[in-house]
A = this chain, B = another copy of it.
Amino acid sequence: MRWPLDRFAFGGDYNPEQWPEDVWAEDIRLMRQAGVSMVSVGIFSWAEVEPRPNEFDFGWFDRVMDNLANADIAACLATMTASPPPWLARLHPETLPQKADGTRLWPGARQAYCPSSPIYRDHAARLVDQVASRYHDHPALALWHINNEYGCHTRACYCDVSAEDFRGWLENRYQDITTLNEAWSTKFWSQRYDSFEEILPPRSAPTFANPTQQLDFARFSSDALLECFKREKEVIRRHSDAPVTTNHVPLAKTLDLYAWGKEVDVVSYDSYPDPFDKKAHILAGLSYDVIRSTRNGQPWMLMEQAPSAVNWRECNAVKAPGQMRLWSWQAIAHGADAVLYFQWRQSQGGAEKFHSGMVPHAGPDSRTFREVAALGAELQQYSEILGTQPDNEVALILDWDSWWALELDSHPSTALTQTGALLSHYTPLFEANIGCDVVHPDADLSKYKLVVVPNLYLVKDAANLTNYVRSGGHLLMSFFSGIVDGNDRVHLGGYPAPFREMLGIKIPEFRPLQDEITVEVLGSAATGTLWSEEIEPETAAVKGSFDFGPALTRNEFGSGVAWYLGTRLDEEAMRSLMNEVTAGAAVSPVLSGLPEGVQATRRGDFVILLNHTTNEVEVRKA
């Protein structure tokens, strides 16, 4: 078996080591009953297969793999490196990560390793070599699952080992210390470095640490984890050419997923919308569009979702009857070819025992298992969808560099978040059933009718976006975009300097808001929050106003049109604005005239309809 399968990958994390072997037979029986076609195995097996350094025991795991093969269930086989056994920390305490304030993080949970640690990396590589050499031609093997949820808990490490690695990364980036000093603006606050040896991670400091030091440390931390990934992949490739993947946690700021997307063969995602949140499906939709876009629309794997409740929020809601089916289909609607869960059998002990399982504590005679099995059966009828991709007309701009820089401290307002900005612009598109891709600002934009730039604070080079508009594209940009360069140094000359010509405006001053403000937009009264600013139109037409000046402008530039919005509009006003903008760009929805709360997406020739309300609705074919 090899990914992609000829049917939906359906199943979940399978951790048989948590159960006596006499349960395994029932596992296989129930998996077949539930239509399971793939499971993820071995994710937390390190301590069981290598109970002490360099002493391996794969016998039990061979039986697991054989059971799967015999049952025609594919294995998404983990490299087993996600959480080192306690013996590693005992022998090498310097492999434990450290927080910015110096707090050491100890074993007892998971992911207690410094990503830069050569000792951790060597031990991981040795284990991967064992796993890959042993199972590379096992009939169950479908693809390799490298590590697990990189950076979920240990997002960055500030220890001396990481400091050394950070210095090497910086030396590689800047070559000489003068260039770094210039990039980091170290003439401010007497921070000039005389050599790379003086540099440290942005550990606890008396006040705001150097922003570019923080920004580069975010870049480095993503790269340090990516180095771990690449090292494992390299070992795998010595033995196997099966596809590799690794699974990412929801809308994670930690990892630059564009860079990661280049390194995997298929991208995987763990999705945990909160059933208490009435708009959770919109945020989920956004996150699916992000993850799909990191591999240019290629079908992706929903590697984890909860069969019902999770256990790590303060209060953990169960999924209502039908909600798990709906949300599974939503992932498919946004391009997934796999629907997997964490985890197969709900744990009896440990920190996630109250996280739901496909087979819950109550056993298979339960609503959860019945809904899982029903979905498994249902999916078998829809294999035609596999491999199809959406073809969207709208691009939403997202850049991890800009995200990291945007959310640094010492800004005009600390209330701005990248996710908030994205969601504010994504929601009206989602509700209008207009499909979106999420792209890097330097991506090829030629296929898009509309480019939406919610908040692109950091811009290395404005040419790509500017050329897009000049050549006839339509673009909507919101506030606090185009402010700094790649080193977090301000583009001088009136904000947003690199986009001023395209937008036809100049902004001498920001006016962040504590309270909401009244604003007139496209002829209607609305409210703005978070932000306002002084906008001086140069060539742009004013389309909305604060009481003190323009709030929304529209500029014809080259053959295209560039809109600019200087506040966070309320949802209704944002809907009106997006209607106007998409209409002007001749963007068309997948379907129009659908009842409120009904989502429509297109994959190839298929249109998928999802009813996110709790009422029945009727939709007739036009």
Which residues on A are within 8 Å of B, measured CB to CB?
Answer: 15, 17-18, 44-48, 51-52, 80, 82-87, 89-90, 97, 101-112, 152-154, 184-194, 197-200, 202-213, 276, 308-309, 311-312, 314-318, 346-354, 360-363, 366-368, 409-415, 487-490, 492-495, 506-514
Instruction: Give A53's nearest chain B residue, CB to CB.
Output: B194
Residues A185 and B315 in contact, CB atoms below 8 Å apart:
no
Q: Which residue of B lies closest to A211 (CB)?
A: B351
Closest-by-CB residue of B relative to A84 is B190
Copies in the complex: 3
Known: A47-B191, A52-B194. A206 touches B154 (CB 8 A): yes
**A94–B411 CA distance with the chains assembled, in angstroms:** 32
Q: Which residue of B206, B315, B411, B412 contacts A110 across the interface (Cβ within 8 Å)?
A: B206
* Nearest B residue to A202, CB-CB: B108
Shortest beta-carbon distance from A323 to chain B in Å: 13
Could you say which of B109, B206, B487 contacts A109, with CB atoms under 8 Å apart? B206
Say whether B187 contacts A510, CB under 8 Å: no
List residues of chain B with CB within 8 A of the CB of A184.
349
Residues in B neighbouring A276, C-beta threshold 8 A: 514
Q: A108-B213, A367-B509 are in contact. List 10 more A-B contacts (CB 8 A).
A: A18-B185, A83-B189, A105-B204, A112-B205, A189-B350, A311-B412, A318-B510, A360-B508, A362-B494, A368-B508
Q: Determine if B192 and A47 form an interchain contact, defined as CB atoms under 8 angstroms apart.
A: yes
A203 contacts across to B, CB distance below 8 A: 104, 106, 108
Q: Are B44 and A190 in contact, with the CB atoms below 8 A?
A: yes
* A361 with B492: CB separation less than 8 A: yes
* Closest 4 pairs between A and B when the two form their complex, measured CB to CB: A185-B349, A188-B350, A153-B206, A47-B192
- Cα–Cα distance between A45 and B190 once the two chains are bound (Å): 6
B198 touches A86 (CB 8 A): yes
Specify the main secondary structure of chain A where it touches its partner: loop
CB pair A90 B197 closer than 8 Å: yes
Are A413 and B316 in contact, CB atoms less than 8 angstroms apart?
yes
Point out the residues of chain B lying under 8 angstroms from A212, CB to CB.
Answer: 349
Which of A80, A185, A412 counts the most B-chain CB atoms under 10 A from its CB?
Answer: A412
Known contacts A105-B206, A209-B108, A495-B361; A85 and B194 CB within 8 A of each other? yes
CB closest residue in chain B, given A214: B108
| Complex contacts, A350 vs chain B, CB 8 Å | 185, 188-189, 191, 210-211
CB distance from A225 to the nearest CB of B (A): 13
Q: What is the CB-to-nearest-CB distance from A107 to chain B, in angstroms, rounded to a whole number?
A: 7
Among B51, B107, B318, B494, point to the contact of A194 (Cβ < 8 A).
B51
Is the Cβ of A362 less than 8 Å from the Cβ of B47? no
Asked whether A188 lies within 8 Å of B44 as measured between CB atoms, the reply is yes
Subset of 30 A-B contacts with CB under 8 Å: A48-B187, A84-B190, A85-B191, A86-B194, A89-B198, A90-B197, A101-B103, A105-B204, A105-B205, A106-B203, A107-B198, A108-B213, A109-B207, A109-B209, A110-B190, A112-B205, A185-B353, A188-B351, A191-B350, A208-B351, A210-B351, A211-B351, A309-B510, A315-B415, A317-B511, A349-B489, A353-B490, A354-B510, A361-B493, A361-B495
